[in-house]
Amino acid sequence: MLELDPGVMIWAWITFFVLLLLLYKLAWKPILATIEKREKTIEDSLDRAEKAREEAEALLEQHNQLMRSAEEDAQLLLKENRALAEKSRQEILEQAKQSAEKLIENAKSAIEKEKQDALTALRVEVADLAVNATKKIIGESLDDKKQREIVSDYLGKIPDTMQN
């Protein structure tokens, strides 16, 4: 079977410790340096990732704030446009009302003028009828100017019931 030789065991232990000492002197520091370098790289990557996350959150908040601001501006513009449209509508209605009132006033003036013209024509006709009737009744003819003066005086004394 397997026999343990103390001499081989001691040399195995001595070889193991020498090899361990050589590895410690030659390989341990580079291995630790590589591990530390790798840890630093990982730590830097984590820091950069955290900074990138914070920047992304800040940008997202800034974007959200800009969106809210744009929405508020849009609402304000809509409100201003509605107010402007309402003001324009009121101005148009006021202009239409004024135009209608002006047309009504012009129509009333035209009606009054026509009424006065009709009354004048009626007076002239009544005067002519009165002169002709007077001629027939009196049998003589006054001059045309004198007849018109008499009729005008008479008509001037008659109250004007048509105007009121």
pLDDT of residue 164: 45
User: Tokens 């730590």 appear where?
Assistant: 43
Distance, in Å, from the CA atom of 110 to the CA atom of 93, rounded to the nearest integer, reads 25
Distance, in Å, from the CA atom of 147 to the CA atom of 11, rounded to the nearest integer, reads 173
Cβ within 8 Å of residue 135, ≥6 positions away:
141
162 pLDDT more than 80: no
Overall average pLDDT of the 42-60 stretch: 96
Strand, coil or helix: what is 66?
Answer: helix
pLDDT of residue 1: 58
Overall average pLDDT of the 124-140 stretch: 72
pTM for this entry: 0.41
Distance, in Å, from the CA atom of 87 to the CA atom of 81, rounded to the nearest integer, reads 10
Q: How confident is the model at residue 32 (pLDDT cuts 50, 70, 90)?
A: confident
Q: Where are the domains of the chain?
A: 43-157
